[in-house]
Amino acid sequence: MNPNPRNLILNLLLGVSNEPLSARFAVASCALFGIRENSTRVALVRLAASGLVEAAGRGTYRLGPSAAPLAADVATWRGVGRRLIDWDGSWIVVHSGPLGRSDRAALRARDRAFGLLGLRELDRGLYLRPDNLAGGVAAARERLFKLGLEPEAAVFVARCLDTHREQRARALWDCAALDSGYRETRHRLEEWLVRADTLEPEVAARESFLLGNDAIRQLIFDPLLPSPLVDADARHRFIDAVIRFDVAGQSIWKRFREETTP
């Protein structure tokens, strides 16, 4: 499925790091996916109005203040393997019971924060994940609050769950699906890299964006579970494939950018 202009522009801005994005390049990029110039320019105006992008100069844009916290978190995906430590069986827990349910923006931010840290709901208002992230509960708490979780939430470590809850906790994630996802995506990326040099430049740019965007999103929202819940070796090979694919995709898009915005 082709991306909408809003998401495509935001992903382009994430991809160019601190460099500004010209409206001309945004239009050319969106055209690869059949998006008309008017739709692209309307998307830029709406993104600017929402604070997700801001003007960086005449006809150029950068990420705006509303996108900064999430962008900073997402930008760390390449070092995801360094976030992990051995698991001692304890759990990072968030109690969201006292938090409100009527503020939709707060709910979206909360759900996004839980999703990015791989938290799942065990009992009503009680979310958890294995305590296998570098920095432990203090780093997890800080990251959750930066991503928008309300500071009233209690974030702590739990040990020695009762047998029933321990079994339920370990079953909150579809670990078999995660393992198969690692293998299938790695295979898809590696197959594409083998034939990438045979593709026309515009085809290569379009396909590398679609495949790379899906793979990076899969990695960003991966719960990073420890062994024995998932196959950690399969995940390591998947991460390595995503990083290699991203390097190739960045090179393809750099050439496309140079050709479309001289």
142 confidence band (pLDDT: 50, 70, 90)? very high
**Crossing angle (nearest 10°) for helices 104-116 and 136-146:** 140
One-letter amino acid at 218 equals Q
Are 145 and 114 in contact by the 8 Å Cβ rule? The answer is no
Mean pLDDT score of the chain: 92
The torsion angle over the Cα atoms of residues 28, 194, 179 and 119, rounded to 10 degrees, is: -30
Q: Has residue 1 got a pLDDT over 70?
A: no
Q: Model confidence over 85-112: pLDDT tens digits? A: 999 999 999 998 777 777 788 888 899 9
What whole-number distance in Å separates Cα of residue 234 and Cα of residue 182? 6
Instruction: Tell me the pairing of strands 53-57 and 60-63.
Output: antiparallel
Are 181 and 234 in contact by the 8 Å Cβ rule? The answer is no
Percent of the chain with pLDDT over 70: 98
CB proximity list for 104: less than 8 A, separation 6 or greater:
none
Counted residue by residue, the chain has a size of 262
Q: Has residue 39 got a pLDDT over 90?
A: yes
Q: Which residue has the higher pLDDT, 4 or 185?
A: 185
- Among 76-80, 137-141, 159-163, 246-250, name the one with the lowest average pLDDT: 76-80
Residue with tokens 């800080």: 142
Q: Model confidence over 65-75: pLDDT tens digits? A: 888 888 888 88
Q: Residue 156: phi, psi to the nearest 5?
A: -150, 180
Bond before 151 cis per omega within 30 degrees? no
pLDDT at 262: 65
* pTM for the predicted model, two decimal places: 0.90
135 confidence band (pLDDT: 50, 70, 90)? very high
Q: Has residue 143 got a pLDDT over 90?
A: yes
Percent of the chain with pLDDT over 90: 70
Q: Model confidence over 180-233: pLDDT tens digits? A: 999 999 999 999 999 999 999 999 999 999 999 999 999 999 999 999 999 999
pLDDT at 261: 74
Render 239-256 in DSSP notation, one character per residue: HHHHHHHHHHHHHHHHHH
| Residue 7 DSSP class | H
